[in-house]
């Protein structure tokens, strides 16, 4: 583990902008206007280089994805896939992954569960914190992701995460990084907006040799808020910087090498939102929604560094071997102020508890390091008069984690309140630590056994060996099989009907560290029936899916909870509809709808950490709707080109009511005062509207975006135990521009 007590801090904000400005200046001084690529390319034995320039950017319909380990058209995958393209993100002026994921139907956001205040989402009603990926390798949910270095985001729904077993019931969210290409192109973008919004980005690609190129992506972003502490005027804030450098050699040849590094720094003032009223089970109205309990002293700092090396050998246009090696280090430290139902915010950022003790709010410092090695071989061939698409691979994943609270450098009274500093580890108490090794082997074959009919069969074996600091659960070993099967019918190339089934195991130590005593592993099963259609010569993609997803021995996301199991079994039945692409040459659309019926089938069983006795949750939770799983979500974004480079667009995002409660407790179920019927804390449904107008030319563009056009007060994320909810942004206007040269 790295030394967590000795850190160097740069002043903010001037110092953090210097590297960005210096790199942009240094790179732009050496580039010239875009010119045709050289024509003296070598002739390759098995791969023909058709063009050196970057591939045309997808519109709202993605035409390729690697979410299934091999490069495919999403139309051909026998499973529900949603892709948020670069075009869609740019038009909406989405900056973070959370903003981009608003386009994914059936997805909701959690808020700071047990220290998981990063990108923690629910998909089809199930957690995804174990199913976040970056270029096919697991990426922890413990930090907030930016979009400056992403080409697209693929969402593969269902238990067959990465198409061969690993993962949870909701699906996998895979971020696809930008990579170098064989041409010179530079872009500088920026934006200013209300609530102190400022954004500056740079994307610079330089061809160095016939098959070698380098790409540099840069970002700095600042945001204020419409919410503030009435005692001080302090606001929640976002201050984030990012640098991503990648070098490719042998691009588009038989032997391709890629080395990349991405660093993301955050220096936020966290927002824990509004508490619930126990009398109404609705967001608290004792204080207006713009009330913020934090102060300028609070912080949420993180330093994420990810280095990846990728080697691809192409045996033929239909066969390749791809290996990735990654080291990632996720450091984070925060001090937040949770809201209170009765005490107004104050300058000290404290809440007075029993005996006059001043509570400063939750603190955490953590360092999570991973090493991943992943190798895949794929081949398309014909045998016994049948076409095969074969995939086999192996994976090793090492985790090393440290987590503790911060040292109180102040006092415990209103006159001498608590005070904390980033990364100053508490000298008392016991940190939570674990290290783990996970191994996986997998194979899959898709066979066209008769014309237009394909069968897919896949299996994966995972083994996990983890050691924990817990005295009651020091070691945990799991070895599990996961399987996948699908039947596809393509009556014509533009139409795809499928039936798929899959189960999965989650072989990640981060999901199991608080089991107290070994309990069965978390497993998922999904059955899905779907259809996909391509219209207008492939410009518009439509899909529909109905599914049943079960999860057994569902784990708690709260890292400090002694109740490791949330439910013994629960289910979501759902229907999804989606459209993405171009309706006419001028009109594009991206829309989705998800109907979800979630239910707890069997209540939790846990092991008492003191007595070892089995404890069973209140039977009243059985049959209830699961947490943070609304009965419906819907989203739409559409644009229309008017004339001479002018474009207008707009859209909406809607979610139904969401519940927040703890289903693992043996006590009484939540009710309204004087009633006995189940009634947990509930967020109201909402509809948020956005709009944009832009003017685009070959080398530049300008745009005006209105986010939350009608200034709707809505609740974006929910602490799923029901303690609080975080309001979404108020109406925000962003004026942005981009210059290409």
Provide φ and ψ at 497, rounded to 5°: -115, 140
SS3 665: coil
Flag whether 27 is in a domain: no
Flag whether 456 is in a domain: yes
416's CB contacts (< 8 A; 6+ apart) are 410
| Residue linked to tokens 């079960």 | 550
What's the pLDDT at 71?
81
- How many domains is the chain built from? 1
621's CB contacts (< 8 A; 6+ apart) are 567, 600, 603, 663, 669, 678
Q: Where on the phi/psi map is residue 19: left (φ > 0), alpha (ψ -120 to 50), or beta?
A: alpha
What's the pLDDT at 699?
95
Flag whether 59 is in a domain: no
Largest CA distance in the chain: 83
Nearest one of 459, 464, 499 to 482, comparing CA atoms:
459
Mean pLDDT by runs of 10 across the 741 residues of the chain is 38 41 39 40 41 70 83 90 96 94 95 68 90 90 91 87 69 94 97 97 98 98 97 97 98 97 96 94 95 96 97 95 97 95 94 91 95 96 94 96 95 94 95 94 95 95 92 86 94 96 87 79 94 96 97 82 88 98 96 98 90 91 96 98 95 97 94 95 98 96 98 94 92 97 93
DSSP E strands, 612-714: 614-616, 632-641, 646-655, 658-660, 681-683, 686-696, 700-707
Q: Which H or E run contains 97?
A: helix 97-100
- CATH no. for residue 303? 2.40.170.20
Flag whether 41 is in a domain: no
Distance, in Å, from the CA atom of 147 to the CA atom of 159, rounded to the nearest integer, reads 26
Distance, in Å, from the CA atom of 291 to the CA atom of 662, rounded to the nearest integer, reads 26
Distance, in Å, from the CA atom of 625 to the CA atom of 596, rounded to the nearest integer, reads 10
What separation in angstroms does the CA of 347 have from each of 224, 295, 360?
Answer: 19, 7, 12
Flag whether 632 is in a domain: yes
Report angle CA 628, 633, 638 to the nearest 5 degrees. 140
Which token pair is 290?
């713009």
What's the pLDDT at 685?
98
Distance, in Å, from the CA atom of 335 to the CA atom of 198, rounded to the nearest integer, reads 24
What's the pLDDT at 291?
97
What's the pLDDT at 131?
87
| Residue linked to tokens 């229309």 | 640
Distance, in Å, from the CA atom of 339 to the CA atom of 275, rounded to the nearest integer, reads 6
Flag whether 60 is in a domain: no
Please count the residues of the chain: 741
Nearest one of 598, 546, 593, 541 to 572, comparing CA atoms:
598
SS3 312: strand
What's the pLDDT at 2?
41
Distance, in Å, from the CA atom of 557 to the CA atom of 85, rounded to the nearest integer, reads 29
Flag whether 50 is in a domain: no
Flag whether 29 is in a domain: no
Peptide bond preceding 530 in cis form (omega within 30 of 0)? no
What separation in angstroms does the CA of 485 have from each of 71, 78, 265, 446, 551?
Answer: 20, 9, 41, 9, 18
What's the pLDDT at 31?
36
Provide φ and ψ at 669, rounded to 5°: -75, 155
Domain enclosing residue 319, as ranges: 75-740
Q: Where on the phi/psi map is residue 265: left (φ > 0), alpha (ψ -120 to 50), or beta?
A: beta
pTM: 0.90
What's the pLDDT at 690?
98
Distance, in Å, from the CA atom of 162 to the CA atom of 176, rounded to the nearest integer, reads 13
430's CB contacts (< 8 A; 6+ apart) are 469
Q: Where on the phi/psi map is residue 117: left (φ > 0), alpha (ψ -120 to 50), or beta?
A: alpha
Helix and strand totals (H; E) in the chain:
3, 39
Residues 5 and 423 sit within 8 Å (Cβ to Cβ): yes
Q: Which residues of 405-421 are buried (b: 16+ CB within 10 A; e: fewer)?
A: bbbbeeebeeeebbbbe
């Amino acid at each position: 583990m790295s030394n967590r007590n000795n850190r160097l801090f740069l002043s903010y904000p001037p110092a953090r902008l210097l590297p960005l400005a210096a790199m942009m200046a240094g790179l732009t001084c050496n580039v010239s206007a875009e010119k045709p690529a050289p024509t003296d390319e070598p002739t390759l034995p098995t791969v023909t280089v058709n063009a050196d320039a970057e591939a045309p950017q997808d519109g709202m319909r993605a035409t390729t994805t690697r979410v299934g380990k091999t490069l495919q058209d999403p139309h051909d995958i026998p499973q529900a896939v949603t892709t948020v393209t670069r075009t869609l993100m740019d038009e909406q002026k989405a900056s973070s992954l959370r903003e981009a994921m608003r386009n994914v139907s059936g997805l909701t956001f959690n808020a700071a569960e047990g220290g998981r205040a990063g990108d923690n989402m629910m998909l089809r009603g199930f957690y995804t914190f174990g199913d976040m990926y970056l270029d096919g390798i697991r990426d922890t949910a413990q930090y907030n992701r930016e979009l400056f270095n992403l080409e697209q985001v693929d969402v593969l729904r269902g238990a067959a995460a990465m198409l061969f077993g690993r993962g949870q019931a909701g699906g996998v969210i895979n971020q696809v990084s930008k990579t170098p290409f064989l041409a010179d192109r530079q872009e500088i973008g920026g934006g200013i907006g209300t609530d102190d919004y400022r954004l500056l980005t740079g994307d610079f690609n330089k061809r160095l040799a016939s098959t070698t190129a380098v790409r540099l992506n840069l970002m700095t972003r600042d945001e204020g808020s419409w919410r503030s502490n009435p005692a001080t005027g302090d606001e929640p804030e976002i201050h984030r910087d990012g640098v991503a450098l990648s070098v490719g050699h042998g691009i588009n040849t038989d032997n391709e090498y890629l080395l990349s590094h991405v660093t993301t720094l955050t220096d936020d003032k966290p927002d824990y939102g509004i508490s619930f009223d126990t009398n109404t089970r609705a967001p608290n109205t004792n204080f207006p929604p713009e009330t913020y309990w934090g102060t300028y002293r609070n912080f949420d700092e993180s330093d994420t560094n990810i280095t990846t090396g990728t080697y691809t050998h192409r045996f033929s246009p239909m066969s390749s071997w791809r290996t990735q090696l990654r080291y990632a280090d996720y450091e984070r430290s925060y001090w937040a102020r949770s809201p209170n139902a009765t005490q107004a915010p104050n300058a000290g950022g404290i809440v007075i508890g029993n005996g006059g003790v001043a509570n400063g709010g939750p603190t955490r410092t953590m360092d999570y390091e991973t090493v991943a090695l992943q190798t895949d071989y794929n081949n398309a061939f014909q045998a016994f008069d049948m076409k095969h698409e074969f995939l086999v691979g192996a994976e090793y994943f090492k985790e090393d984690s440290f987590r503790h609270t911060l040292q109180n450098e102040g006092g415990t009274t209103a006159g001498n309140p608590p005070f904390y500093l980033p990364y100053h580890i508490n000298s008392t108490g016991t940190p939570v630590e674990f290290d783990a090794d996970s191994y996986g082997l997998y194979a899959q074959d898709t066979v066209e056994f008769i014309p237009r009919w394909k069968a897919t069969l896949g299996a994966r074996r995972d083994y996990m060996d983890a050691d924990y600091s817990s005295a009651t659960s020091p070691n945990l070993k799991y070895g599990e099989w996961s399987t996948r099967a699908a039947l596809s019918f393509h009556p014509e190339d533009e139409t795809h009907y499928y039936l798929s089934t899959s189960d999965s195991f989650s072989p990640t130590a981060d999901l199991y560290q608080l089991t107290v005593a070994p309990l069965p592993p978390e497993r998922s099963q999904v059955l899905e029936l779907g259809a996909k259609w391509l219209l207008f010569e492939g410009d518009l993609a439509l899909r529909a899916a109905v599914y049943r997803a079960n999860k057994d021995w569902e784990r708690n996301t709260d890292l400090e909870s002694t109740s490791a199991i949330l439910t013994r079994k629960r289910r979501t039945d759902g229907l999804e509809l989606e459209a993405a692409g171009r309706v006419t040459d001028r009109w594009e659309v991206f829309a989705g709808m998800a109907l979800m019926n979630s239910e707890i089938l069997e209540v939790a069983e846990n092991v008492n950490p003191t007595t070892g006795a089995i404890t069973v949750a209140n039977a009243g939770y059985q049959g209830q709707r699961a947490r943070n799983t609304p009965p419906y979500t819907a989203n739409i974004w559409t644009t229309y080109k008017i004339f001479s480079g002018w474009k207008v667009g707009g859209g909406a995002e809607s979610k139904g009511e969401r519940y927040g409660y703890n289903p693992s407790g043996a006590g009484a179920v939540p009710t309204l005062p004087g009633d006995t019927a189940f009634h947990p804390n509930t967020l109201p449904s909402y509809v948020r509207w956005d709009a944009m107008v832009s003017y685009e030319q070959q080398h530049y563009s300008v745009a005006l975006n209105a986010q939350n056009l009608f200034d709707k007060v809505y609740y974006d994320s929910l602490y799923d135990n029901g303690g609080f909810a975080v309001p979404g942004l108020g109406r925000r206007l962003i004026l942005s521009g981009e210059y290409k040269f």
